[in-house]
Amino acid sequence: MAHTGTPQERAYILGVGVSAINMKMAVEIIEGWIERREPHYVCVTGVHGVMESQRDPALRAIHNRAGLVTPDGMPLVWLSRLKGFAHVERVYGPDLTLALCERAAQRGYRHFFYGGAPGVPEALAAELTRRFPGLQVAGTFSPPFRPLTPEEDEEVVRMINAAEADIVWVGLSTPKQERWMADHVGRLTAPVLIGIGAAFDFLTGRKPQAPRWMQQAGLEWLFRLLTEPRRLWRRYLVNNPLFLTLIALEMLGIRQSEPTSPGS
């Protein structure tokens, strides 16, 4: 039976609740949080995030407490549809960023860009204001690669709150950005935190994006592997076959993934 796709509905994939959404639904849900000033964070998640959550139950719980876990990779889209959510489409980090910034330029939402190498959040803010005249940038910050001290973290919270942002875009890579968002939701006055990782580099042109046909065919992993083999070989050549194996075992009823409850 097909599901209708209310915001609460999720397709559980190896215990990670992936939101049964498409781009239009994602934008509308996030806009609702901004209008109601409801604090939430968004995990933009593909196979990598699901597999990291197999190794780390705390990360799986962070995903399952998120306001949205967007299906960022085609395997999650296909599996969601197999589970009866026929309306699900890919909600890819760079595309979500562009869709929300286009809407925000009309609505006056304020954006803070947190993450990326020095100069990257500023470059991203400049690129997005060029594409969407009228976009309001509340601030940018490139944190050091090392963990922040508690005092430094408090200073970051004060800085972002003083900027009066509506959306904080977080580019720290998975799983660092998911942990950061879970730790800061509610401490920040911005109602929406969105972890978009590599989108900081994609949208500023620092890294190439896969052609759209490769994205739609579920071959983006191959493009990224070919462009960054030394950094990404383990993610794709180890994670992807293991993901397929675990999915097959689950479908055959040999393995069961218990979802970590959102309240845990």
Structure tokens at 78: 């296909």
Q: Which residue range forms the structural domain that includes residue 148?
A: 10-203
> What average pLDDT does range 71-97 have in this prediction?
97
**Number of other CB atoms surrounding residue 37 within 10 Å:** 11
* 245 domain residue, yes or no: no
DSSP summary character for residue 132: S
Query: What confidence category does residue 264 fall into, taking pLDDT thresholds of 50, 70 and 90?
Result: very low
Q: What is the 3-state secondary structure (H, E, C) of 53-97?
A: HHHCHHHHHHHHHCCEEEECCHHHHHHHHHCCCCCCCCCCHHHHH
Structure tokens at 28: 């509308």
Q: Which residue's structure tokens are 């969105």?
A: 194
* 237 domain residue, yes or no: no
Indicate the range of 1-15, 109-123, 185-199, 224-238 predicted with least confidence.
1-15
For the cut 90, the answer to whether the pLDDT of residue 14 exceeds it is: yes
> What average pLDDT does range 173-183 have in this prediction?
95
Residue % of the chain over a pLDDT of 90: 90
> What average pLDDT does range 230-241 have in this prediction?
93
Structure tokens at 164: 């009066």
Tens digit of each residue's pLDDT (9 = 90 or more) over 120-159: 999 999 999 999 999 999 999 999 989 999 999 999 999 9
The alpha carbon dihedral of 30, 32, 37, 38 has a sign of negative
The domain that contains 171 carries what CATH number? 3.40.50
**Number of other CB atoms surrounding residue 17 within 10 Å:** 24
Predicted local confidence at residue 173, as pLDDT: 86
Q: Are 168 and 192 in contact (CB under 8 A)?
A: yes
- Give the chain's mean pLDDT: 93
Comparing 4 with 30, the larger pLDDT belongs to 30
* 239 domain residue, yes or no: no
Query: What confidence category does residue 63 fall into, taking pLDDT thresholds of 50, 70 and 90?
Result: very high
For the cut 70, the answer to whether the pLDDT of residue 260 exceeds it is: no
* 241 domain residue, yes or no: no
* 133 domain residue, yes or no: yes
* 110 domain residue, yes or no: yes
Cα within 13 Å of Cα(58), Cβ side:
7
For the cut 80, the answer to whether the pLDDT of residue 229 exceeds it is: yes
> What average pLDDT does range 235-261 have in this prediction?
86
* 262 domain residue, yes or no: no
Q: Are 31 and 102 in contact (CB under 8 A)?
A: no
Tens digit of each residue's pLDDT (9 = 90 or more) over 29-50: 999 999 999 999 999 999 999 9
* 52 domain residue, yes or no: yes
For the cut 70, the answer to whether the pLDDT of residue 6 exceeds it is: no
Q: What is the pTM of this model?
A: 0.93
The number of domains in the chain is: 1
